[in-house]
Amino acid sequence: MLKFYYAPKTCALAAHLALEHIGEPYEAIRLDFGSQAQRSAEYLSINPKGRVPALVTEEGILTETPALLLYLCQRSPQAGLAPLENIFATAKMQAVNSYLCATVHVAHAHRLRGIRWADDPVAIEAMKKKVPQSMGDAMALIENGMLEGPWVMGEQYTVADMYLFTIATWLEGDSVDLSKLPRVIAHRERMAKDPRVQRVLALYA
């Protein structure tokens, strides 16, 4: 059985939603970041990065959200969570996931994790102040281009929707102007109505 490590208020939600959608049995293990469980020797033996998500499979351990999302799509192609029959469309989906991972998530992290990039308190505070703009600009690209509608890839619901939903739940905390993102917010509200999404969200409360 797959074993999945997650923590509330993290990007692990995206892969967790994918697990719920494919319908395969899995064990979800919640880490308490408040007690630094992600830094325990036990967890570091699973993921030396000390972060979530981590997915333990029969073949080994996987980390990094874009990798987990594609793996789950390929593991359970019958779930139809990626346009696997079209290599260009799959690459296009991965381009969105990569942007969410490498650009949008990093912009968000400057509010809470500035110490990763600087030691100077003034520099860290400057990074925090920049987040509403940097996150807003990044999400504007999604609003006005990447989100084809009604789903990220147009008519097909994919794991990119789960990743976008995850990051969209952070927007209020990042003080992003939601009035400029009506399509992103409509997408978030549509996702939140899915019973499978609601089941997973209950674990993150």
Residues 100-157 pLDDT 10s = 999 999 999 999 999 999 999 999 999 999 999 999 999 999 999 999 999 999 999 9
Torsions phi, psi for 96 (to 5 deg): -65, -45
Q: What is the mean pLDDT of residues 35-59?
A: 97
Q: For residue 47, name the pLDDT band (cuts at 50, 70, 90).
A: very high
- What mean pLDDT is predicted for residues 155-169? 98
- Strand 2-6 and strand 54-56: pairing? antiparallel
Give the model's pLDDT for residue 203.
96
Confidence grade of residue 204 (pLDDT, cut at 50, 70, 90):
very high
Q: Which CATH architecture has domain 87-194?
A: Up-down Bundle (1.20)
- The predicted model gives 18-23 an average pLDDT of 97
Mean pLDDT of 43-49: 97
Q: Which class in CATH covers the domain with range 2-80?
A: alpha beta
CA–CA separation, 103 and 108 (whole Å): 9
pLDDT mean across residues, the chain: 97
DSSP strand pairing (26-30 vs 54-56) = unpaired
Q: Scanning the structure block, which residue is given the tokens 């959608």?
A: 21
| Amino acid in position 21 | H
Give the Cβ contact number of residue 83 at 10 Å.
18
Distance CA 125, CA 48 (A): 28
How far is residue 53's CA from residue 10's CA, in Å, rounded to a whole number? 8
Name the strand (E) or helix (H) holding 43.
helix 41-44
pLDDT attached to residue 8: 96
Spell out the domain ranges in the chain.
2-80, 87-194
Q: Which pLDDT band, with edges at 50, 70 and 90, does 38 fall under?
A: very high
pLDDT of amino acid 158: 98
| Three-class DSSP category at 148 | coil
Under the banding of pLDDT at 50, 70 and 90, the label for residue 26 is very high
> Would 2-80 and 87-194 be classified into the same CATH topology?
no
**Report field, pTM of the whole predicted structure over 0.85:** yes
For residue 77, what pLDDT is reported? 98
Q: Is 179 helix (H, G, I), strand (E, B) or coil?
A: helix
Residue 51 neighbours by CB distance under 10 Å? 18
pLDDT tens track for 64-79? 999 999 999 999 999 9
Cα 166 to Cα 33: distance, rounded to the nearest angstrom:
18
Report the distance separating Cα 141 and Cα 181, nearest Å: 10
